[in-house]
Amino acid sequence: ILMATKRGASLTRRLLAFGRQDLLSGKTCDLVQVIRETAVLLKPLLTERIKLEISVPDHGLYVPCDGDVISQILLNLATNARDAIPDTGNVWIRAAAENDKQVSLSLIDNGCGIPEEILPRIFEPFFTTKPQGQGTGLGLSMIAGLVQQMHGVIDVESVAGHGTKFDITLPRAAAES
């Protein structure tokens, strides 16, 4: 009962966050700092069997959003990556300035990959490949919605048996606010 209650509360929080577009307006965060802070949370989530590697510039990369949104995106993608790695593996998080107007954020894993026939559906709400009770199918649709609210673009490349790469391109902000 406690586990079902926690799952319900988590689902409710995610649905509310997804519906609140004001979460993203008027705020700016340093993507580099958020990635470094989130990495601390990711290491126990990924367990000892998965190595986490971070590649970010030494200077800040500012994007127009709340840092909690970026953390939520990274946590969700990393959880999916963990579930896709059956034994040992790697997860890489990379961020870079694409130009003076855009920033890229990537999460890459060397897990089982996503079958080609499923790729077109992965951002659909309530679509999941996980067994009943192990996934809501809201994670990737929520991420896509958040990225869209930030005026960004999300893309995925995957080959079954060879891993997955999520690329997010976000507008670059001038400085922290």
pLDDT single digits (tens) 159-173: 888 999 999 999 999
Judged against a pLDDT cut of 60, whether residue 44 lies above it is answered with yes
pLDDT score for 21: 52
How far apart CA 134 and CA 112 sit, in angstroms, is: 18
pLDDT score for 20: 56
Band of residue 139 on the pLDDT scale cut at 50, 70, 90:
confident
Q: What is the pTM of this model?
A: 0.82
